[in-house]
Structure 1
């Protein structure tokens, strides 16, 4: 059952997360830390959002077309024991990201606009297990971030922030009862500050103009749990809070042109997940889960026109010897929202959107 949780549940939180609040992508789970013995895993997810909207008549109307391209999500982790009390893990993930590509020729005011945000993180964690079933862990996260955008409807604006590395930390506590497959873990992830060397150009301010754009990826808290509820049956779930209300990307020229931020959010995001897993036989286990993010309301940026979601996911784990292969699919109904463009509210109305994600993870104990 422990194998079922760390495979199916972690995949539900991570590789098949077809949609998450703001630009959250990996969920920053530390579930690998609780694997038995020496363990390595690799995961790959393919996410296909379908996000489109309709422009305001004040901006000429028009259908935006699908502005959210498909993308791949990769992860890897290694965990090992030092002795009976101490263990460690190394985790690679892509915690934050965004891809925007409004098709041309649609008549929508934002047609031809593109934006990308890319991140990579390597986290090292050390865990100490006490005799009382309580364990404490902490670690350091090195993270890189880069971003670029092309927004023709804002005076032909283009901007590019070069890749920058920042360092943060995490700390957590866990309680386990192996006899009933119970585990509760609470993890705090610090914010990480990046200073991107930025080059901007526009028809009004000319260019290339250079400056430094400070971006803080948000602090967050993950609460994850599991417990046996019947023989070979496990209940699992969790909640993630991320401090997106403090997130902001405001390049100097873009602020001069618009008086606002390129990307920002008004509210924090809570992501809930709940699932049930069951072992069928010595080789196969299955799990089903649901996810939820509340809609916060208000107007959103045209580079992120989504608000909340509801999702369902299915996972299957095949175990053979020391190897286990987990596959999963998750479908998300993306929350409706309206966008703002300067003083125009709403500039666009986005509704009826969805996303589907597929993921596979291969783990090996040795």
Structure 2
């Protein structure tokens, strides 16, 4: 007969994993859109801070891409383009009674921060380098209902408010006739939704949850500047600046969270995440229309009839993280985890030239009082090698042997609620 692992005896270990997990992934994924704060017992609140520092360096392309856009010959050194960044996550959850629960979560789900410098094909003659900055913020409201004789099943869902803004500068010979292109995408807030189902068996500390988040469509303003291109015929009629609406649809996602007790002091966890980045694109109208105008121009290739996207990805993202937590004392637990991210294709955009990662992480959680706890953790990442390409699919760089690290801290509060 399997022993009973009451959740109370493992409470120190539960939720210690999410301090520095699921970050710096494929596409623009950052936070992993974790909802496990809502799945905690009783009254629960948390505030966490995550800092990410990556080294993403490589070489530009010296090959004659006018002849073969897939040709690559190692050129000038490209020093670290990945800007360090941080983000916060907050969550609060409460039971209304033994059936209904409510919660509010805040995170920064998607983003990018890259900056080129030095003597390479991503820096123009004046010394200004290619730069990208994308930030999002998200607030999710959740209401859940527990079902079944023992309240083992829970259905949950709610609205999501999301804000997005972006700035992109393309500089240097790598971008050919788009060298000097700039766009500012104004901040916009729009709405989506979340829905999920969870199952728990407290006597063995088992909990499983499947969560779906909808895509969110943003309609906002993009202010673009397209460089005047010397040597091209004036009959092309290329516009040089525009302020117009742009549609950006952040992707839907599916998260699976699982945990179970192995023995009275040890917990095993698994997280799986899927995001269809192959459906995502940023397509400013001026950039797209000017690319259409260049179809058939000598020396310009790789432009489809529908024109070019500024940013797009070829593949969907899969992410897996497995972990163990061990309660060492009534107040202290330690954790370890390993992870894998598939990336979103190789070659990939020159604005984020890595193809997924492998990772290993450690963490600890200490209960300062029966209700208050502090968690801290870190993770080391080995990034996958990737060739960088511009929107016309021309190879412009190669990035190999890169890595990074993540550290995080979290303050949490948990209290039992009685409704007898």
Whether the TM-score (by the shorter chain) exceeds 0.5 is yes
SS of alignment partner, residue 38 of structure 2: helix
SS at match of 1:63: strand
Residues 46-73 of structure 1: CA distance to partner in whole angstroms, max 9, x if unpaired? Answer: 1001101111113792111111100011
Which one of the candidate residues 157, 170, 194 is aligned to 1:138?
A: 157
* CA deviation profile, 1:105-146 (whole Å, cap 9, x unmatched): 322335600011110000000011123411110111000000
Which residue of structure 2 lines up, in the alignment, with residue 171 of structure 1?
195
In structure 1, how many angstroms separate the alpha carbons of the residues matched to 2:41 and 2:116? 46
Structure 1 length-normalised TM: 0.94
Q: Residue 199 of structure 1 aligns with which residue?
A: 223
Residue 93 of structure 1 corresponds to 107
User: Is 1:237 aligned to 2:237, yes or no?
Assistant: no
Counterparts of residues 256-267 of structure 1 (less than 5 Å)? 256-258=289-291, 259-267=307-315
Deviation at 1:302, TM superposition (A): 0.8
For 2:208 and 2:83, the matched residues in 1 are separated by 36
Aligned with 2:19 (options 8, 11, 17): 11
- Where do 1:1-366 residues align within 5 Å? 2-14=10-22, 17=23, 19-58=24-63, 61-103=75-117, 105-110=118-123, 112-130=129-147, 131-132=149-150, 133-153=152-172, 154-204=178-228, 205=238, 207-258=240-291, 259-294=307-342, 297-321=345-369, 322-341=371-390, 345-366=394-415
Contact 1:5 1:236 in 2 (8 A): no
Q: Cα–Cα, structure 1 residues 152 and 91, in superposed 2: closer, same or farther, change >3 Å?
A: same
Q: Is the 1:173–1:185 contact (alpha carbons within 8 Å) kept by the matching residues of 2?
A: yes
Whole-Å Cα distance in 2 between the matches of residues 299 and 260 of structure 1?
16
Structure 2 stretches of 5 or more lacking a match? Answer: 1-8, 65-73, 173-177, 229-237, 292-306, 416-420
What is the Cα deviation at residue 207 of structure 1? 4.5
Q: Report if aligned partners of 1:194, 1:214 keep a CA contact under 8 Å in 2.
A: yes
Given the superposition, is the C-alpha separation of residues 164 and 342 from structure 1 closer, same or farther in structure 2, using an over 3 Å criterion? Answer: closer
Gap regions ≥5 residues in structure 1: none
RMSD between aligned residues: 1.8
- Note if contact 2:13-2:365 (Cα within 8 Å) is conserved in structure 1: no
Partner-residue secondary structure (3-state), 1:147: strand
> 1:209-249 deviations in whole A, cap 9, x for unaligned?
11111111111100110011122001101100011110100
| Cα offsets for 1:271-298 (capped at 9, x unmatched) | 0000000000011100000110235643
Between stretches 350-359 and 107-116, larger displacement belongs to 107-116
Rg larger in structure: 2
What is the count of residue pairs matched by the alignment? 362
Normalising by structure 2, we get a TM-score of: 0.83
Cα separation, 2, equivalents of 1:219 and 1:75: 20
Per the alignment, in what secondary structure is the counterpart of residue 7 of structure 1?
coil
Question: By how many angstroms is 1:317 displaced?
Answer: 0.1
Bigger fraction of residues in strand: 1
